[in-house]
Homo-oligomer: A and B are copies of this chain.
């Protein structure tokens, strides 16, 4: 019995990513059903099923690494009393414009104190730390929360990239010395490289942010920028050296080995998983839809039987056998719906399913199946007896191949500039500008304002790892350069 073929309403993306990134991104969100912006609170979106499934896998992977590195999970209340919030002056100043306030409850009406929906958890958690930390033996104290935070964004929101509610991990650590805290910052950066570059196939680079762009309350902020190509960057996990800026007002002290009571040194770290997912869509996707690293696709292999009249039973039987052979090892979907074969191909390409197995009557005669890799569209004809070994091989190499193809070398993105005009030209040509700058301290802020206004990019900061370029003067004011910085456009 031949099934009636129904054409799916879904076809591939109609806008080219290269020509109009913004329209492409909107279309992929809709067509691959990743986010729904029609929820009726401004700046809040629904993460659809396919996105939620990948994000859950990303959380699990990141949490596993944090735990391997000695972090333990905690669950914190999401409401923070306004009074906690006021304990650290820079923090309250930085976050107040972004806070949602709970002011009323139930029938009893007004609360006696406003409660912040956490925009970040320092001021909730650090009220507890003095209750838990007493001695040097309690240190290092490494904890993390997997939670959502709320920020009343005034900038334009875009699903996963920037929203008024987003989902992240925040790690909050306490050490006995500033050196130990700085080592944690380095570990945080290594974790970001391991997760983003190795697992999620997204190229990043870390900068020490200028003082005018640091986390409110931090001594310094080290933030990853995703290299999106064409000189554009997108901010991702950042780690903050807090020093004693919070431990003093929050009274986080310990008795040291020498018997003295001392304030702890702190760090915090915040990989925004939902935002990293946005970068994954944006960086890896192409004009056919999503491309996902093998381990993070909700379905890893889709089997599409090619049904010809009179041969349906034998094809379906073989497809089911293949499904049975693979399903214990991989997440496999046998798509035996009554859509046309073409619609199925489009649909699963849109969804980014890494491997597609096609089985038709001819393949059965030849004792083979056809396997197509999503990321490069390459077709392989595989003998049935080699199937499992070959699939294992393809599965193991899939993410590696993506990385090889798409990793962006930082050096290829940069252009050294000695004059403002050259910098403007470089930025317009899709480059990241490498130049001399007064410093990244607050007194260099006037020069940074000129960069933003005249050059059309932002000072991303000082490279954290080795710096190969040296400059005599600041690109903007011409005074002696204190450091080398990078200027880029950002999403």
Q: Give A residues with C-beta under 8 Å from B.
A: 36, 38-41, 44-49, 51-53, 55-56, 72-81, 83-84, 96-108, 114-115, 117, 124, 127-128, 131, 143, 148, 150, 152, 154, 165, 167
Contact = CB atoms under 8 A, between A and B. Distances in A.
Given A105-B101, A148-B78, A152-B105, A52 B73 contact: yes
Contact of A102 (B51, B97, B102, B107): B102
Contacts of A128: 36, 38-39, 46
Contact of A74 (B44, B48, B102, B124): B48
List the 8 closest pairs (A to B, CB-CB), nearest first. Answer: A47-B75, A44-B77, A106-B152, A49-B72, A101-B104, A105-B152, A52-B73, A103-B103
Contact of A96 (B107, B115, B150): B107
B104 A103 contact: yes
A152 B106 CA distance: 6
Nearest to A167: B75
A188 B76 CA distance: 29
A51 B74 CA distance: 8
A38 to B, nearest CB: 6
A157 to B, nearest CB: 12
B97 A107 contact: yes
User: By CB atoms of chain B within 10 A, which of A41, A47, A74 has the most?
Assistant: A41
Given A75-B52, A77-B45, A105 B115 contact: no
Nearest to A105: B152
A403 to B, nearest CB: 27
B131 A77 contact: no
Contacts of A96: 106-107
A81 B39 CA distance: 10
A362 B108 CA distance: 67
Contact of A46 (B74, B117, B154): B74
A98 B106 contact: yes
User: By CB atoms of chain B within 10 A, which of A36, A96, A102 has the most?
Assistant: A102
A165 B103 contact: no
8 contacts: A39-B77, A46-B75, A46-B77, A52-B75, A53-B73, A78-B165, A79-B100, A98-B106
B117 A102 contact: yes
Nearest to A44: B77
A34 to B, nearest CB: 11
Given A41-B80, A103-B104, 11 more contacts: A39-B77, A40-B83, A41-B77, A41-B81, A46-B76, A47-B74, A49-B72, A51-B75, A52-B73, A79-B165, A96-B106
Contacts of A79: 41, 44, 100, 150, 165
Contacts of A99: 105-106
A143 B72 CA distance: 30
Contacts of A165: 77-79
Nearest to A124: B39
A51 B75 CA distance: 9
A148 B102 CA distance: 16
A38 B131 contact: yes
A36 to B, nearest CB: 6
Nearest to A107: B97
A78 B117 CA distance: 11
A167 B41 CA distance: 23
Contact of A55 (B44, B51, B75): B75
A292 to B, nearest CB: 17
A283 B148 CA distance: 31
Contacts of A75: 46-47, 51-52, 55, 167
Contact of A127 (B40, B47, B49, B73): B40
A286 to B, nearest CB: 25
Contacts of A84: 40
Contacts of A74: 46-49, 52
A56 B81 CA distance: 27
Nearest to A153: B106
